[in-house]
Amino acid sequence: MPRTYFVRTFGCQMNEHDSGRAAGLLETLGYRRAATADDADLILLNTCAVRENADNRLYGTLGHLKGLKDQRRATGDDLTIVVGGCLAQKDGATVAEKAPWVDVVYGTHNLPDLPQLLAQVDSAAIPVVELVEQLETFPSALPAKREVRHHAWVSISVGCNNACTFCIVPSLRGPERSRPVEDIVTEIERLVADEVIEVTLLGQNVNSYGRDLFGASRFAELLRTLGDVDGLERLRFTSPHPRDFTEEVLQAMADTPAVMPHLHLPLQSGSDRVLRLMRRSYRTRRYLNLVARTRELLPAAALTTDIIVGFPGETEQDFQATLDVVEQVRFDQAFTFQYSPRPGTPAAALTAEFVPPEVVAARYQRLEPRVRAHSRERHQALVGTTQELLIESPSKTDPSRWSGRTPGNHLVHLPAAPLTPGRAPVYAPGDLVTVAIVEAATNYAIGSAPIAVRRTRPGAAAADALARGEGWARPADAPVTPGTVRVPLPVLVP
Ligand code: SF4
């Protein structure tokens, strides 16, 4: 029987991506994915240091896993426990001291070493710990396990050269290191050959990509180069920094059809005074100019953002400035956070400036209805348009509906239609389906029955998806537009 693994991910998309790579590495070692942690021979916790009480949560989880490991040992079995990610990088030796039943602790730059570290476990009586401060070479050749077949995350850089005072990333992920263009292109071509049609480029500050390699950012060129990869339908990226966002990047977005019209542009605060305290090196005027230029060059672009409420020292006037910017921009979606100190960050030391929690909560309550109203308004603006959706899966809350994403990344639910054995083409995750938008809500829109389908994967893969219960039939009366790709129908057994 092959050994099995379970990966639990805490934190951000960068960690999700690293978890996919860890899973890929484990599978090359012969491990198979377990359905639950209780069924696994190896449990990997990919940790995050950003969330509040992250260390307490980690030690709580490790305490639980000790019980599981003891039970296994009592029956002559074993459980391998691995801790990786940002908190492992920050607390490495402490993790091994506080939880000596852990087998491996590895830092944010040591993921490629995981196989060697696991190989040392049997001979080591104590946790095997591997942490380096900086990335030496970019781990471009790591295999990655994808959550869905049609989408992949691709790292273009790691680390960050900024020093935002609320953020722990620079001290944990080190200075920015860009990955060579050829490596990125090769990985994306390989992914496209393996049925990926949408790629999201990942970096802490994507638009400074290449500064360490070429002396200047080459992000705009990278977008144009990747836009030429045959078969790549949708290209996204996250996250840009408003300071480094250039006209060239906007032009590249406008000129490159594969680059989707969606910009996630973290605002953090609408007050220049607070931006200075945060050490965010742009000002509100620059941010608003960038928004205006985006809307000129990419009129259909969706704009999303992150906002922190109650940063230390934020006054009522500062908060009002944030409300004013939010009112002007009217974001498609805003991720709003109440400030809470992250140990190890400069802002966490500004205790005398902390805004009382009840004031932070009250401001947050004033901001939330505004961003929700704007979201609704932006979704409402889609009503009456036709949109090509990348089909994801059945809706998480209502399995009678399916969900897809517009080019602007808006979530759209489609009414499910019954399968029509032997007649209708099957829609599967990864297909591109055109619908008319007929209704809007705050966080999603509703699409009509499909108008057209573009099958993006071979018929066999679609049939496999159907066999797994992921298929979806075109209603018999839905017209099919010219250019629609028809595939041989799978034989269905009613
Ligand atoms: S740009 Fe600022 S918030 Fe983003 S990772 Fe770098 S330091 Fe953190």
Q: CATH number, domain at 301?
A: 3.80.30.20
Distance 253 CA to ligand 1 centre (A): 23
Are residues 96 and 111 both part of a single domain? yes
**What are the CA-CA distances from residue 147 to residues 208, 393, 429 (Å)?**
28, 12, 12
**pTM of the full predicted structure?**
0.78
Same domain, 299 and 439: no
Is residue 143 domain-resident?
Answer: no
Do residues 331 and 303 lie in contact, with contact meaning Cβ atoms separated by under 8 Å? yes
Q: Residues near ligand 1 with C-beta < 6 Å?
A: 160, 162-164, 167, 169-170, 204-205, 241
284 plus 322 within the same structural domain: yes
What is the structure's pLDDT at 125? Answer: 65
* Residues 288 and 398 occupy one common structural domain: no
CA of 266 to the centre of ligand 1 (A): 10
The atom number, within ligand 1, closest to the CA of 279 reads: 2
Cα angle for residues 203, 205, 209 (degrees, 5° grid)? 80
Domain count within the chain:
3
Query: Would 483 be classed as within a structural domain?
Result: no
For residue 268, the model assigns a pLDDT of 97
In a domain, 294, yes or no: yes
CA-to-CA distance for 326 and 434, rounded, in angstroms? 31
In a domain, 494, yes or no: no
**Distance from residue 249's CA to the centre of ligand 1 (Å):** 19
Question: Would you say 139 and 113 are in contact if contact means Cβ atoms under 8 Å apart?
Answer: no
How many CA atoms does the CB half-sphere of 407 hold within 13 Å?
A: 18
Nearest CA to ligand 1 atom 4: 204
Distance 190 CA to ligand 1 centre (A): 30
Please tell me the distance between residue 452's alpha carbon and the centre of ligand 1 in angstroms. 41
Distance 339 CA to ligand 1 centre (A): 15
The answer to the question of residue 203 being in a domain is: yes
How far apart CA 237 and CA 308 sit, in angstroms, is 22
Residue 210, domain member (yes or no): yes
Residue 400 and residue 270 share a domain: no
The pLDDT, as a whole number, for residue 127 is: 74
Tokens in use for 245?
Answer: 């966002």
Q: Measuring from atom 8 of ligand 1, which residue has the nearest CA?
A: 167
Measured from the CA of 161, which atom of ligand 1 is nearest? Answer: 6
Q: Give every residue of the chain whose pLDDT is below 70, as ranges.
A: 50-52, 123-125, 131-144, 399, 417-427, 456-494
Range of the domain at 90: 4-130
CA of 160, closest atom in ligand 1: 6
Same-domain check for residues 228 and 338: yes
